């Protein structure tokens, strides 16, 4: 236990965000393994391969409506006052039918293959059928009401890129081109440990453990399994045991509540003893006390016990890991919005500011949410965006435009 006091002084010199991310890239992190799953079971997982269409969709020219397949030139000039008569030769099935010759047509259903010779389909409501004679009351454009071969998905077209999160439309497209199995990264296992003697679960006294469930539920996604790895008292041996046990089951570990320079915060001491310190203390706000350690190729974060600081600081680096360990493509939407009031930034700090987005008559407005501390959960309740203010910018004036990453809710 000797040396704990010295190790708790590691926050004297904060490093820049750029330096911290550079150090992240220099570590040979343990990769997430690739598995193969059924396409129908791949929703929300991160794909590990480019998927291209191996065939056209549709595979042939087909009717987009119920009606009659015909030659466009045969009904040129047709109208209700001057209908054109055609001889119905039969029905067009999904395997096609006999060739459409001059002055003929065939009945066709939605999705059926367009018969040879036909280059348009007239909807049934624009024609009248008497026996085998069809009176067409409207002219047709070339390929009207026809879905052309490859019109939806052309053979060779990329459906999804490696590193993308698979969504329902990707699943539908892969099934449409006949893909049954796909390579994906297995789901990441992310665990969260809370530390602190002051945390008293289910009690009106003490400090309620809000940070741990916030992180667990915020990062629980289709490609991420999150687990509660328990609460450890501020004791060196207890924290060490908790961390070692958790690392047997997780790919990424977050330890909350032990990142400050408090004399009884032992997390940094434990993590330094059993792993390698990548950085400790970054010039960001909130969450400057964040620390990162590498243990057996796995990232272990030590973050503030305050909920907003913990969430913001961890989120700032999490995507960097997603890129490194499974080539993740960040798909979060970033939009440009106008500030409704001045945004103040402390010199030299990169600030992550919660934003309330709203629509006005002529723009999308961004209102910075101010708080008196790093634990203000209300800023999460009221915000639907996050703006990043670089270290070199001391502030932004009302009316200036800022880039905002959407974090949820509606605008």
Confidence grade of residue 7 (pLDDT, cut at 50, 70, 90): very low
Confidence grade of residue 281 (pLDDT, cut at 50, 70, 90): very high
Answer yes or no: are the C-beta atoms of 211 and 306 closer than 8 Å: yes
For position 215, what pLDDT does the model report?
Answer: 92
Confidence grade of residue 103 (pLDDT, cut at 50, 70, 90): very high
Cα 122 to Cα 223: distance, rounded to the nearest angstrom: 47
Question: Taking 80 as the threshold, does the pLDDT of residue 207 lie above it?
Answer: no
What is the arithmetic mean of pLDDT over 83-93?
Answer: 87
Rounded to the nearest angstrom, the gap between the alpha carbon of residue 250 and the centroid of all alpha carbons in its chain is 21
Question: Taking 60 as the threshold, does the pLDDT of residue 261 lie above it?
Answer: no
For position 300, what pLDDT does the model report?
Answer: 95
Averaged pLDDT score across all residues of the chain:
87
Give the helix/strand (H/E) hosting 302: strand 298-303
What is the arithmetic mean of pLDDT over 328-343?
Answer: 88
Answer yes or no: are the C-beta atoms of 135 and 78 closer than 8 Å: no
Question: Taking 60 as the threshold, does the pLDDT of residue 4 lie above it?
Answer: no
What is the arithmetic mean of pLDDT over 108-125?
Answer: 94
Answer yes or no: are the C-beta atoms of 223 and 188 closer than 8 Å: yes
356-385 pLDDT, tens digit each: 999 988 889 999 987 655 557 888 888 899
For position 258, what pLDDT does the model report?
Answer: 61
Domains observed in the chain: 4-33+187-326 (3.40.980.10), 35-57+151-184 (3.90.105.10), 62-147 (2.170.190.11), 334-406 (2.40.340.10)
Of 263-267, 270-274, 307-311, the poorest mean pLDDT is in: 263-267
Q: Which residue has the higher pLDDT, 220 or 202?
A: 220
For position 329, what pLDDT does the model report?
Answer: 82
Question: Taking 50 as the threshold, does the pLDDT of residue 6 lie above it?
Answer: no
Cα 2 to Cα 236: distance, rounded to the nearest angstrom: 11
């Amino acid at each position: 236990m000797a040396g704990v006091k010295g190790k708790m002084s590691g926050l004297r010199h904060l490093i820049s965000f750029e330096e911290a991310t550079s150090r992240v890239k220099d570590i040979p992190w343990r990769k997430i393994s690739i598995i193969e799953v059924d396409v129908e079971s791949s929703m929300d997982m991160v794909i590990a391969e480019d998927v291209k269409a191996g065939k056209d969709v549709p595979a042939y020219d087909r009717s987009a409506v119920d009606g009659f397949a015909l030659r466009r030139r045969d009904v040129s000039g047709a109208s209700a006052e001057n209908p054109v008569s055609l001889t119905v030769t039969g029905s067009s099935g999904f395997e096609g039918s006999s060739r459409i010759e001059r002055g003929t047509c065939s009945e066709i259903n939605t999705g059926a293959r367009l018969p040879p010779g036909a280059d348009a389909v007239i909807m049934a409501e624009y024609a009248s059928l008497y026996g085998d004679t069809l009176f067409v009351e409207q002219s047709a454009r070339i390929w009207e009401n026809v879905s052309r071969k490859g019109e939806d998905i052309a053979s060779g077209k990329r459906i999804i890129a490696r590193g993308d999160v698979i969504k329902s439309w990707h699943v539908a497209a892969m099934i449409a081109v006949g893909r049954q199995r796909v390579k994906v990264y297995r789901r990441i296992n992310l665990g969260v440990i809370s530390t602190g003697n002051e945390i008293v679960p289910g009690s009106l006294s003490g400090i309620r453990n809000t940070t741990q469930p916030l992180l667990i539920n915020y990062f629980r996604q289709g490609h991420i399994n999150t687990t509660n790895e328990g609460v450890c008292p501020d004791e060196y041996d207890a924290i060490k045991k908790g961390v070692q046990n958790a690392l047997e089951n997780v790919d990424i570990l977050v330890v909350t509540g032990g990142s400050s320079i408090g004399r009884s915060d032992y997390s940094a001491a434990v993590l330094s003893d059993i792993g390698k310190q990548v950085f400790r203390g970054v010039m960001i706000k909130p969450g400057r006390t964040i620390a990162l350690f590498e243990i057996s190729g796995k990232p272990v974060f030590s973050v503030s016990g305050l909920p907003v600081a913990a969430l913001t600081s961890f989120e700032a680096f999490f995507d960097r890991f997603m890129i490194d360990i499974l080539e993740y493509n960040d798909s979060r939407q970033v939009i440009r919005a106008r500030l409704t009031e001045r945004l103040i930034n402390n010199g030299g700090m990169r600030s992550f500011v919660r934003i309330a987005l709203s629509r006005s008559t002529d723009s999308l407005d961004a209102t910075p949410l101010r708080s008196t501390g790093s634990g203000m959960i209300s800023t999460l309740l009221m915000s639907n965006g996050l703006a990043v203010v670089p270290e070199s910018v001391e502030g932004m004036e009302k009316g200036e435009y800022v880039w905002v990453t959407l974090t949820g809710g509606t605008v």
